[in-house]
Amino acid sequence: MALKKSWVTSANSPETGFPLNNLPYGVFSTGGAARCGVAIGDMILTVDELGPAGIFEAGNWNAFMALGPKAWAAFRAEVQAALSEGAEVRPLVAQAGATMHMPFAVAEYTDFYAGRQHAENMGEILRGTKGLPANWLHIPIGYNGRASSVVVSGTDIRRPLGQLGAGRFGPCQKLDIELELGAIVGTGSRMGQPVSVAEADEMIFGYVLLNDWSARDIQGWEYQPLGPFQSKAFATSISPWIVTKAALEAFRKPTPLREELLLPYLNEQKPGLYDIELEVQLAGETISHTNATRLYYSAAQQLTHHSIGGCPMRVGDLLGSGTISGPLPAEFGSLMELSWNGAKPFTLANGETRSFIEDGDTLTLTGHAQGDGFRIGFGECSGTILPAINTPDWAT
Ligand code: MN
């Protein structure tokens, strides 16, 4: 597939993440109310006059998502026609002057653990044992996270307070990131009714970059036997533009060869991963570079597993992929892995060393799928760490 040309000049550059081939959906404001828009080059097209009447009134994409795949395809065709080379020029808003907001209201948030190298690394670091947990090759492992603390890129993140061990309380000393993709559920399912992998794929509306901020010291103390809780609940950041499944269709890649035969309910009908180059930057310097094909389970498989016991899925549910790490240290998707839990601090270009995140650090995730002369970009998922609040005198 080649670049589709637009009358918006900046959308025709091979460097932009937002050519006519992409058309990701976001919510922005320029002083007034938040409005839904589509990114095109370095501009935004407002969509109030497109699509079914009133569908964007709430200032997010939830009502539109609930319309389902046929409406998604019709709307995408309408927007693509309106922005194609030769179409009538319309007023646009410059991205540079816009503030981005959450593109959708997160109904519920579930985080998975589908990065194989990450699972192996964490086992070795936390438990000193090489290899995967016994269940890992059979079941997409996940936990129910918090929708209330999912924030859009650019939101500052406060270092959390918590229990760091027996009788120890204070600001997290091992603050970390997790490089993930977020899948957004566009249509729901009924309670008691499992969905197949093919149905799950149909239900997914699009993807964002997701940073599952993690407090490793709090996590290490609290996670046994029920998994992460406060170590993950304080914040999750997502990139502001929803890259639709339609825009990524040409970049599908199969999940890796199954090492253990999966139960048939988890078998994929079509390739469920995407060839998306991913980077982590700390203070503007790239500290990790990997690809979303490093995942072992697709979002469709995770969604199917999520529903298999009868749990209903809702419009606006967010599924984190799990930390994406490749086999080389330069491909690790968390500082825990990059510094091997502080045993191997790494040095930045400015001479500073890091094991975990310092106050004032800005962490940024970027990603794109590389086409022939064009890119399907995700924009940025960025957050700056603020110092912890003072420990309240009643806390210790
Ligand atoms: Mn995670």
Q: Any idea what the CATH number is for the domain that residue 20 is in?
A: 2.30.30.230
Instruction: Please tell me the distance between residue 111's alpha carbon and the centre of ligand 1 in angstroms.
Output: 6
- Which domain range does residue 83 map to? 9-101
3-state SS record for the chain:
CECCCECCHHHHCCCCCCCCCCCCEEEEECCCCCEEEEEECCEEEECCCCCCCCCCCCCCCHHHHHCCHHHHHHHHHHHHHHHECCCCCCCCEEHHHCEEECCCCCCCEEEECCEHHHHHHHHHHHHCCCCCCCCCCCCCCEEECCCCCEEECCCCEECCEEEEECCEEEECCCEECCEEEEEEECCCCCCCCCCCHHHHHHHEEEEEEEECCEEHHHHHHHCCCCCCCHHHHCCEEECCCEEEHHHHHHHEECCCCCCCCCCHHHCCCCCCEECCEEEEEECCEEEEEEEHHHECCCHHHHHHHHHCCCCCCCCCCEEECCCCCCCCHHHCCCHHHHCCCCCCCEECCCCCEECCCCCCCEEEEEEEEECECCEEEEEEEEEEEECCCCCCCCCC
Q: What's the average model confidence in pLDDT over 184-197?
A: 98
Q: What's the average model confidence in pLDDT over 361-382?
A: 98
Q: Which residues crowd ion ligand 1, with CB under 5 Å?
A: 111, 178, 212
The rounded mean pLDDT for the chain is: 97
Instruction: Please tell me the distance between residue 184's alpha carbon and the centre of ligand 1 in angstroms.
Output: 16
Q: Are residues 267 and 203 in the same domain?
A: yes
Domain end point (choices 101, 136, 171) = 101
**pTM value > 0.75:** yes
pLDDT at 80: 98
Q: Which residues are catalytic?
A: 118
Q: Is 4 a member of any domain?
A: no
- Residue 130: pLDDT over 90: no
- Residue 366: pLDDT over 90: yes
Q: What's the average model confidence in pLDDT over 281-308?
A: 97
Q: Are residues 140 and 119 in the same domain?
A: yes
pLDDT at 126: 83
Instruction: Please tell me the distance between residue 270's alpha carbon and the centre of ligand 1 in angstroms.
Output: 25
* 72 in Cβ contact with 51 (< 8 Å): no
pLDDT band at 127 (very low <50, low <70, confident <90, very high): confident
Q: What's the average model confidence in pLDDT over 9-26?
A: 98
Q: Is 116 a member of any domain?
A: yes
Q: Is 250 a member of any domain?
A: yes
Instruction: Please tell me the distance between residue 193's alpha carbon and the centre of ligand 1 in angstroms.
Output: 27
Q: Is 1 a member of any domain?
A: no
pLDDT band at 347 (very low <50, low <70, confident <90, very high): very high
Exposure of 32 in the CB half-sphere (CA atoms within 13 A)? 4
49: its two tokens: 């006059």
- Residue 100: pLDDT over 90: yes
Q: Are residues 230 and 347 in the same domain?
A: yes
Q: What's the average model confidence in pLDDT over 147-175?
A: 98
65: its two tokens: 């998502």
Domain end point (choices 60, 85, 101) = 101
What is the C-alpha radius of gyration for the chain, rounded to an integer number of angstroms?
A: 21
Say how many domains are in the chain: 2
- Residue 293: pLDDT over 90: yes
Q: pLDDT digit string (tens) for 231-265?
A: 999 999 999 999 999 999 999 999 999 999 999 99
pLDDT at 254: 98
H or E segment and range at residue 324: none
Domain end point (choices 71, 101, 131) = 101
Instruction: Please tell me the distance between residue 183's alpha carbon and the centre of ligand 1 in angstroms.
Output: 13
Q: Are residues 348 and 246 in the same domain?
A: yes
Q: Are residues 88 and 137 in the same domain?
A: no
Q: Is 45 a member of any domain?
A: yes
pLDDT at 301: 98
What are the beta bridge partners of residue 14?
none
Q: Are residues 379 and 250 in the same domain?
A: yes
pLDDT at 256: 96
Q: Are residues 18 and 119 in the same domain?
A: no
pLDDT at 129: 85
pLDDT at 41: 98
Q: Are residues 302 and 279 in the same domain?
A: yes
Q: Are residues 334 and 389 in the same domain?
A: yes
Sign of the Cα pseudo-torsion (120, 126, 128, 133, in order): negative
Q: Is 181 a member of any domain?
A: yes
